[in-house]
Structure 1
Amino acid sequence: MNCRERCGACCTAPSIASPIPGMPNGKPAGVRCIQLDEHERCKLFGKPERPAFCASLRPAMDMCGGNRAEAMALLSALEIATRPDSPAPLSVGAA
């Protein structure tokens, strides 16, 4: 799967804890990254200053869904599920 044109959901929905050029404290979830251009493309793509978290993201149906709205919903749900203050899921066989 390739990145969807004019999407930018993966640069908006998740929080990024590491510094980003122009955002030295990273960015909170739901905030558009300052490095997105007017076409929702990353200005740091392929550059060494791109955060490792961003470089680790790969487009996939379970992350991107069928459109930008689905991608935002999926990534927002993942953000909530992986927050340090989220309740731990029950393990298989737990009572």
Structure 2
Amino acid sequence: MDCRPGCAACCIAPSISSPIPEMPLGKPANQRCIQLDEHNLCLLFGKPERPAVCLAFQADETLCQASSEQALKLLSWLEEATA
């Protein structure tokens, strides 16, 4: 599955422990990544400074569900359950 343009659930729900440009300590769970633009697109996509955890994420119907809202709910639940 390809990412749903503008979804950004994977850029909001999970915590990221590695540095992100303009977020040197990473990103807490359920906080919007500073690298999302006004259309919820990643400004680091395809760039070497994109965190490894972001590169490794694979869109999947099970995780991404039928909508951005459903994806955010599920990914937030998974983040909380594995914290």
Q: Give the TM-score taking structure 1 as reference length.
A: 0.84
Structure with the greater alpha carbon radius of gyration:
1
Equivalent in the alignment of 1:92: none
Equivalent in the alignment of 2:58: 58
Q: By how many angstroms is 1:27 displaced? A: 0.6
Q: By how many angstroms is 1:77 displaced? A: 1.2
How many Å separate the matches in 2 of 1:57 and 1:17? 15
How many Å separate the matches in 2 of 1:32 and 1:20? 12
Aligned length: 83
Equivalent pair of 1:62/1:74 in contact (CA under 8 Å): no
Q: Which has the higher contact order (CA 8 A, sep 6+)?
A: 2
Name stretches of at least 5 consecutive residues in structure 2 with no aligned partner. Answer: none
How many Å separate the matches in 2 of 1:55 and 1:43? 13
- Tell me the alpha carbon deviations over residues 44-91 of structure 1, each in whole angstroms, 9 at most, x when there is no partner: 1111100000101111012111001110111011101211xxxxxxxx
Q: By how many angstroms is 1:10 displaced? A: 0.4
Letter in 1 for 2:38: E
Q: By how many angstroms is 1:5 displaced? A: 1.9
How many Å separate the matches in 1 of 2:30 and 2:43? 19
How many Å separate the matches in 2 of 1:55 and 1:82? 20
Equivalent in the alignment of 1:29: 29
The percent identity for this pair of structures is: 59
Local SS of the residue matching 1:72: helix
How many Å separate the matches in 1 of 2:58 and 2:37? 19
- Write out the 4+ residue segments of structure 1 that deviate beyond 3 Å after TM superposition: none
Name stretches of at least 5 consecutive residues in structure 1 with no aligned partner. Answer: 84-95
